[in-house]
Amino acid sequence: MSLSRASGILLHPTSFPSPFGVGDLGQEAYNFVDFLKNSGQKIWQVLPLGPTGFGNSPYQAYSAMAGNPLLISPDKLKDEGWLSVRDLSDIPAFPKDQVDFDLVAQLKSSLLKTAYQNFQKDTSEEKKETFKKFCNSKAFWLDDYAFYMALRDAHQGASWHTWDKDIALRQPAALEKWQQRLADKIQYHKFLQYLFFQQWDELKSYANEQGIKIFGDVPIYVAHDSADVWANPQIFSLDSQTNEPSLMAGVPPDYFSETGQLWGNPVYRWDKLEEENFSWWVQRIQSMLDIVDLIRIDHFLGLVAYWVVPQGETTAKNGEWMTAPGEALFNTIKEKLGTLPIIAEDLGVITSDVERLRDKFEFPGMKILHFAFDSDSDNPYLPNNYNSTNWVVYTGTHDNNTTVGWFNKRSPEEQERVYRFITDSRGNGIHWDLIHLAMSSIAYMAIFPLQDILGLGEEAIMNQPGVPDGNWSWRYQSEMLTSDIRDRLKEVTALHGRTPKN
């Protein structure tokens, strides 16, 4: 990938300040873009933007292509005339530093239903036509998604594999019956997507105008409880009797977990995907390119070899490796969509086959500084060992502790090992030491979680892999983005040649 030397910040939109309990696409999002520009950054990395399911994980969404309605800004709906000042006058007091997802969902659901009712009652023909064009343009995934969510609502939130067999298996008569019964509910879920994409497109346009590229994230797998699996069961490994995953995705024991990670997603039937010329994947990547400028493919390894665990296992220990046709997949996507702005999440157990696939398509890989200090001077995560500029270097990712939290958990001897490799410590804290180290590397892109820019401890962890509860909820407060932090980040960025050129 040919890009100029750059740096940026990793921050999911749910982490924005907001009076509505969760970050959204309103004014604070624009304030953050301004902070990026004014501190010399070129990149804003986000986690997957889909509608989250159980556990609130962005990596377990009800759709690989839809947007999360919780991110819709009520303030912007008021500006559109779909909510009134009165509708927003009785907002409960939410925690400022965490998301209470259950409470937020209750509030947002009520507000969004009110907005839909007002849209139905009092909307111009021009806006109705705009909505219709949106639905037509996204029909390849939107029709199934909106239908699926309406069906879930009608089944009290139960996953599709527990529904009556005729609708679970998409029998034509059942589809027609339920479509008629749920017509208004289906339209409601389409309306929510219209709102999300309208607000997201406006925000992305603003970011791009400020010289900021949006760096998105594609989870390699999709949730079993999703429109994707219900609508395309032939491309997933499912039990023919129960429709549950017959082979589950995960990773074997690694740095993060002694028992591995059992994600539970159904793995792909790559033979069927190849028969269909990878059409679902092509559509998925195209839908991402419609809303972001760069794409990280999470668990890139799984497009070469993937760990499968049989149904019934409770950990990922007992599994086996199977091969995936990654080269054929990317050849097809490239043929259909052109050169791909993809970054490979190539962490963990990486084989020469993974490296060959990554390098064949010139996808940058990832380097994590938290992994750099616990072996010898040949450690591949140390910046002096980067063999090209085609890397994205991080202090840590959303799956790591914050840099301050990580460092504080190290023994004095382990802390000393870090300091031996930092020759430019300036006394501003270990987080700034590692930011300097990453910025000074030859990697063309350096990305930092906002928690590291702010120097926060482990209380600000975004996700702890293998821990089922309490993740994804961290939020910052507006006053944390001080002028001192902005100016320091701008200075460090300029010092290492990553400032945008006018």
Least trusted range by pLDDT, from 24-28, 60-64, 106-110, 467-471? 467-471
Count other C-beta atoms under 10 Å from residue 110's C-beta.
Answer: 11
* Distance, CA of 436 to CA of 316 (rounded, Å): 37
Largest CA distance in the chain: 70
In this structure, is residue 426 part of a structural domain?
A: no
Mean pLDDT for 443-468 is 94
What span, in angstroms and rounded, lies between the C-alpha atoms of 149 and 156? 11
Answer whether 424's CB lies under 8 Å from 359's CB: no
Alpha helices, H only, 21-94 = 27-38, 74-80
298 is catalytic: yes
Q: What is the mean pLDDT of residues 345-372?
A: 94
Whether residue 287 is contained in a domain is answered as yes
Residue 264 DSSP one-character state: E
Tokens standing for 187? Answer: 């339209």
393 C-beta neighbours (distance < 10 Å), count: 28
The active-site residue, picked from 24, 217, 225, 345, is 345
Residue 471 to residue 474: CA distance in whole angstroms? 8
pLDDT at residue number 254:
73
The DSSP-derived string for 218-232 is E-SS--SSSHHHHH-
Total domains in the fold of the chain: 1
Q: Indicate whether 422 belongs to any domain.
A: no
Question: What is the C-alpha separation between 45 and 6, in angstroms, rounded?
Answer: 12
The answer to whether 386 touches 440, Cβ cutoff 8 Å, is: no
> What pLDDT is recorded for position 124?
86
Active-site residue, from 346, 399, 433, 452: 399
Average pLDDT over residues 271-281: 98
Determine, yes or no, domain membership for 328: yes
| 64-73, 236-245, 421-430, range with the lowest pLDDT | 421-430
Residue 450: closest CA among 435, 468, 471? 435
Residue 424: the pLDDT is 67
pLDDT for position 188: 98
316 lies in some domain: yes
**CB count in 10 Å sphere of residue 244:** 16
Length of the chain, please?
A: 502
The average pLDDT across 474-485 equals 98
Average of pLDDT values for 421-436? 86
For 1-11, letters b (16+ CB in 10 Å) and e give bebebbbbbbb
Reported as a pLDDT band with limits 50, 70 and 90, residue 3 is low
pTM of the model: 0.96
Cα–Cα distance measured from residue 378 to residue 358, given in angstroms and rounded to the nearest whole number: 21
Which pLDDT belongs to residue 4?
85
Q: Which long-range contacts (C-beta less than 8 Å, at least 24 apart) are formed by 316-325? A: 316/250, 316/251, 316/252, 316/253, 316/257, 316/259, 316/260, 316/261, 316/262, 317/252, 317/253, 317/259, 317/260, 319/250, 319/252, 319/260, 322/267, 324/268, 324/270, 325/270, 325/274
Write out pLDDT tens, residues 94-126.
999 999 999 999 999 999 999 999 999 988 889
- Is position 348 within any domain? yes
Q: Does residue 421 lie within any of the structural domains? A: no
Per-residue pLDDT band for 348 (boundaries 50, 70, 90) equals: confident
Residue 69: its pLDDT value, please? 98
| Residue the block writes with tokens 């069906």 | 151
DSSP state string for 273-310: HHHTTTHHHHHHHHHHHTT-SEEEETTGGGGTEEEEEE
Contacts of 404 (CB under 8 A, 6+ apart): 429, 430, 431, 452, 455, 456, 457, 458
Note the pLDDT of residue 467: 81
- Does 376 fall in a domain? no
pLDDT band at 256; cut points 50, 70, 90:
low
Question: Domain holding 286: CATH number?
Answer: 3.20.20.80
Residues 371-383: tens digit of each pLDDT: 999 988 999 999 9
pLDDT at 95: 94
- CB-based contact 300:237 (threshold 8 Å): no
Question: Range of 333's domain?
Answer: 6-367+457-495
Mean predicted confidence (pLDDT) in 465-479:
91
List of residues 6+ apart from 71 with CB closer than 8 A: 13, 14, 22, 23, 24, 25, 49, 196, 199, 200
- Residue-wise over 250-281: b if at least 16 C-beta within 10 A, else e? bbbeeeebeebbbbbbbbbbbeebeeeebebb
Which of 465 and 466 is assigned the larger pLDDT?
A: 465
Pairing of strands 391-394, 365-368: parallel
Is residue 399 part of the annotated active site? The answer reads yes
In a 3-state reduction of DSSP, which class is residue 19? coil
- State the chain's mean pLDDT as an integer: 95
3-state secondary structure of 213: strand
Instruction: Return the C-alpha torsion angle 322, 398, 49, 335, nearest 10.
Output: -50
In DSSP terms, which residues pair with 343 in a beta bridge? 296
E strand or H helix at 490: helix 483-495
Q: Residue 240: CB partners within 8 Å, gap ≥ 6?
A: none
Which residue reads 């300040």 in tokens?
Answer: 17
293 classed as catalytic: no
3-state secondary structure 311-380: CCCCCCCCCEEEECCHHHHHHHHHHHHCCCCEEECCCCCCCHHHHHHHHHCCCCEEEEHHHCCCCCCCCC
Q: Which is catalytic among the residues 144, 298, 346, 452?
A: 298
Give dist(CA 196, CA 88) in Å, integer: 19
**Amino acid 353: pLDDT:** 96
Which pLDDT belongs to residue 1? 52
